[in-house]
Every structure is written in C-alpha cells, then in structure tokens.
Structure 1
Amino acid sequence: MLRVATVNVNGIRATHRRGFGDWLATRGCDVVTLQEVRAQADKLPDGAFGDYHAAVDTGDVAGRNGVAVLTRQAPAAVRSWSGTALLAGPGALREVPAPDRVTLARELRAVAGQGRYLEVDLADHPVTVASLYLPKGGLPAELQRPGRMREAPDGGARYRRKMAFMAGFSRYLTRTRRAATAAGREFLLTGDLNIAHTRQDLAAWRRNQQNDGFLPEEREWFGDQLSARTLVDVVRRLHPQEDGPYSWWSWLGRSFATDAGWRLDYHLATPRLARAAVGDSVDRDHHGVRLSDHSPVVVDYDLA
C-alpha cells in the first residue's frame, strides 16, 4: 500500500504551531507533498519534515510559494524547474543540483525560480510524484469592480499571468507524464491547483461563476488535462456523485462549520495508478485544530 497526502500548509511555521509535526508523525503517509512552504532554509522550524527524506524548492522570494515532496526513502531522482533543490535525509537541508534535464515551456521560464513545482522518482515504487502550487490568479479586466474585490484592480495582470502559466504547464505536464511512462513509471500530480473544476467542487458555485478559481476558461483548461488515457482525477473517481469532498475553507465566517468550501487540492494520476486508489480522506482537522486553510487530502493506492 502506498499512502500519499498533499497539503497546502500556508506557511510551514504557522502550521507547525498548530500541530502539523504531530499529524506528520502519526498519519502513516509514505509520501507527503507540500505547497506554500513559505520559508527559506534558515527559517524552517526544527524538525520541519519529521523523519522523512525531504526534497524542497523554497523559491527565491522570501515568505512566498515553496514546494516539497517528503518520502520514506531517499528519492531516486529529483527534478526542479530552478535546476537545484534542497535535500534532507533526515536532518539538515543541503543544496544539491537537480541535474535531470527539464525543458520548460516559454511561459514557465520566467517563474522557474518561484518554487511552484517539484517532482521526484520514488525509490521504492515505480511512480513519479509531483507537487504543484498553481498561481491563484485574478479576474480579467472586464470583470474587475473595485467594490466587489478584496485586491486592488490590476487591469487583469494576475489573470493573464495565471492563464500564461496554465498554457505553459499544460505542455510541460504532457512531456513529463510521457517521460515517466517511457521510463516504466506511473505519474501522480498532486497539489493546490487553485481551480474548482466542476459544480461538485464548490459549495457556492452559483455566486462564484465570475470569480477567479471558477472561471469558465479555468475550468475548461482543467478538463483538458484529464482523460481516460492521460490523467484521472482520483478523488472524483472515488466519489463520482458527491459534492466535494472540499479541501479549502476561508478562515472567515462559518464556511468551515457549514462545509461551504472549495475543492482545490488534487491527486491527478495516470489511469493505471488511479485504478489502484482504494480509499481517501480529507483530514479536516487534527485533534480539533485546523492545520491550515487547506486540509490534507490523503489517498491510499494498492500497488500490489
């Protein structure tokens, strides 16, 4: 059995104060992927990754982004967009080259150092696991209304950056998935995609049809990444008729208490691996405490 979890920790220092270390030590995961680590190597809390081997790309902007993949055994290979990664085994992080060739689409070159993507080849299973933090984005200029936005209007700049990222990432995803297949490996993309794909993935879908994260063009892009021959939404396969299970809730109001959430955190697997999924869970809290505004999405894969 291979147990894989993905969680946007929204700052690893904050989530450790809420009990992430205990969750990590007791949940029994073989692989844990993280997004929004938001700490450079010298700012990580003691024991940030427990007794796991950790591959980390913190990104080059302090306090922003950052992804990691934690594994029980040292990974057989690590690929980062920046060409380097931090490794711990377990213990202090050290910077090492991530030399496997990575060809980036033009749209991704400008963000290669931001710490948004990292992938590893597992040493104990023929699986490549990736951690992705896709940009949140924003609204196109024609939908921006100062009175209904939390952020200041930006003329659609954040929206354009997200759409460019998605266009480039789609091509990259096809290449890396095919490379895994050619090497005899299954491929698993995990992480915070910042898109609710269907109406089942968002509780208040009616009033969010013109909000970022549920725009028609974002949802269409998401659907284009999926098919019975390429990648499968694993949790949706396990829950084909259900709303949710949601993985993100605002800290404000009663959205968590009423389960008025969004499903933003995904396992997208090659078809054979998706068929091996035998159970899943969204760990809404840990001993009554929310670890982050996102909750871990845990899936068990029976690889026997």
Structure 2
Amino acid sequence: MRIGTHNVNGIRAALRRGFRRYWDETGADVVALQEVRCRVDDLPLEAFADYHVTLDTGLLPGRNGVAVLTRVKPARVRALDGTAYQFGPGLVPEAVPAERIVNRDLARFATEGRYLEVDLADAPVRVASLYLPKGAAWPHEEGSEEKYLRKMRFMRGFARLLTASRREAAAEGREFLVMGDFNIAHTRQDLRNWRTNQRSEGFLPEEREWFGSILGARSLVDVMRRLHPEADGPYTWWSWRGQAWTNDAGWRIDYHLASAALARSATAAWVGREASYEDRISDHSPVVADYDTAALRR
C-alpha cells in the first residue's frame, strides 16, 4: 500500500501547480493533506477524482484544514469537534457525524481543522492527518509568548492523544500511522542550517525534546529515518524566498510516524521534491512510503 502526506498550502493553488498530476503519477492508495485552506462550497472537486475524501476544514476562513484521501470509504472517522465532511467520486461533500476526540488541551483547537483520523476499510490501519501549530521563538522573539504557549499546549495534549489512539487501534487489531506537518525539525539531520536556527520556532530545544518523547520502539517510529538513518533530510519544506530551494536549505518537518509493526513493514520512503523551483506545488513537497500491509494481515 502506497501512502503519502502533503501540505498543499491551499488546495486550489496546488491544483493549478500540478497537484493532480503528481498524485496520479504516484498512484497512492492513501493521501493525508494539510492546509487545504478552502471552504467546502469552494472545493475544486476535480482535485480528488477517484478518491473518497474525509475532510475537516475547520472554521477559520482561508486557513488550516486537514483531509485523508482513500480508495475505499473509511470504516470509521474521528475528529476533534465530532464533525467531518465526506464525499466520493462523482459526489458532493456532505457533513457526517464523526466520533469526537475528547482531550482537554486540544478542545480549544477543535474548530481549527488541525487533526483527523480514519480507520481504513481495506487494511488494518488507523491513519491520521495532522497540522501542528507553527508556534513562535519566545523568549527570543519579543511579543511571541502567546503563540509559543499555544503550541506547547497543543503538543502536551497531542502527546496524550497519540498514546490513546495508538493503544485503542492496537486493541482493535490495527496499526497506527500519523502523518503531516509537525512544524518541528527533530535533529540536526533534519535542518540544513541548524547552527543559525537554534533560537527559531520549529527547532527550539523544548520542541525537539518533545518530538523525541513521542518516539520509541514500542510507541511510534519515524519511518523515513528508519529507512534512511544517515541521510541529511531528506528535507520537505523550503522557503519561497531567496535561494533556499536552489541551495537545498530546507527543513524536514513533514513525517510518517508509525506503530512498530507498520514501520517494520515499510519497504521504501521518499520525498517527492519537484524538478525545479518553477515546478513546485507548494512550499512543502510530498512524503511517500510503501508499506507491506499484506504482511500485517498475515
């Protein structure tokens, strides 16, 4: 099963830049999206042809929004606010009830379109799409404490959610996979210019420590790093500005984090870095992995 994640930075802009062509060529069975940034009524439905779409747009106009695209309609949906939209090929989106995820720290983020879970109907896997808040470099950046504390609160609640969801999935005979934009580069390997970014949001010591705390042989495994332990990157985000793209001065902030058995089943993982700056679909490139889900059934 080929599974990917992509922060599209606006689905309508991404569609114009080649979103559909990339995913048609890649042939993914499951795709997690972040920053869909589009009202349901304005969705370009042609972007999702051949997929069943489960979507949480959130209530912030023009911001956030997560989705999971699957070849088969999911067996179960869970969302922070208990609602989601679904549609399949040739259909229009309609609101559907979703199981509400109860988490005190995440309750204030429930309407922001930041997290969504589905149970696949064609594989024993629970898949989640995440868009974690960017945060801020407090105290190094004046006036940024509120944004910094907001991200810390989300991370605190999200760590508990990951443990609960993974354990619940395991109790039901499912593996767990959370993908998306974590807005954190975990180690020096994950950031080209790490020396000059040690006081930048996304590479603060406390953010990196938190990221390490959610990983473990019995919890979640960084699939890309498991398959490419010595590689710098491969990076997934580059600024639109300056020469970041040309010089490959990127950040690895988009991940596949999988439960142990699913991580072991991964046979390949790569970043779909576009051929040129002009070919870029978003400021993030897709992250794709192949999993031997048949082995999970056996």
Q: Same fold (TM over 0.5)?
A: yes
Alpha-carbon distance in 2 for matches of 1:103, 1:46: 31
Give the match for residue 289 of structure 1. Answer: 279
Give the match for residue 150 of structure 1. Answer: none
Offset at 1:256?
0.9
Offset at 1:48?
2.5
Is 2:250 the counterpart of 1:253? no
Alpha-carbon distance in 1 for matches of 2:122, 2:275: 29
Residue 185 of structure 1: which of 174, 180, 189 is its match?
174
- Give the root-mean-square deviation of aligned CA atoms: 1.2
Offset at 1:297?
0.2
Alpha-carbon distance in 1 for matches of 2:43, 2:293: 34
Deviations 1:176-222 (A, max 9, x none): 11100000000000000000000000000000000000000000000
Give the match for residue 150 of structure 2. Answer: 161
Give the match for residue 2 of structure 2. Answer: 3
Residue 137 of structure 1: which of 126, 135, 138 is its match?
135
Alpha-carbon distance in 2 for matches of 1:286, 1:74: 33
Alpha-carbon distance in 2 for matches of 1:124, 1:282: 25
Give the match for residue 93 of structure 1. Answer: 93
Alpha-carbon distance in 1 for matches of 2:275, 2:234: 17
Partners of 1:19 and 1:286 within 8 A in 2: no
Give the match for residue 113 of structure 2. Answer: 115
Give the match for residue 147 of structure 1. Answer: none
Letter in structure 2 aligned against 1:107: D
Is 2:208 the counterpart of 1:219? yes
Letter in structure 2 aligned against 1:171: R
Partners of 2:80 and 2:110 within 8 A in 1: yes
Give the match for residue 69 of structure 2. Answer: 70
Give the match for residue 293 of structure 2. Answer: 303
Partners of 1:25 and 1:50 within 8 A in 2: no
Partners of 2:81 and 2:100 within 8 A in 1: no
Could you list the runs of 4 or more consecutive aligned residues of structure 1 that deviate by over 4 angstroms after TM superposition? none
Deviations 1:157-186 (A, max 9, x none): 110100011001111111111100000000
Alpha-carbon distance in 2 for matches of 1:88, 1:23: 21
Give the match for residue 43 of structure 1. Answer: 42
Gapped regions of structure 1 (runs ≥ 5) = 145-152
Deviations 1:21-50 (A, max 9, x none): 222222110000000000010111241312
Alpha-carbon distance in 1 for matches of 2:44, 2:219: 38
Deviations 1:45-87 (A, max 9, x none): 2413121000000001110100000000000111111111100
Offset at 1:101?
4.8
Q: What SS class does the counterpart of residue 107 from structure 1 fall into?
A: coil
Offset at 1:303?
2.1
Q: What SS class does the counterpart of residue 157 from structure 1 fall into?
A: helix
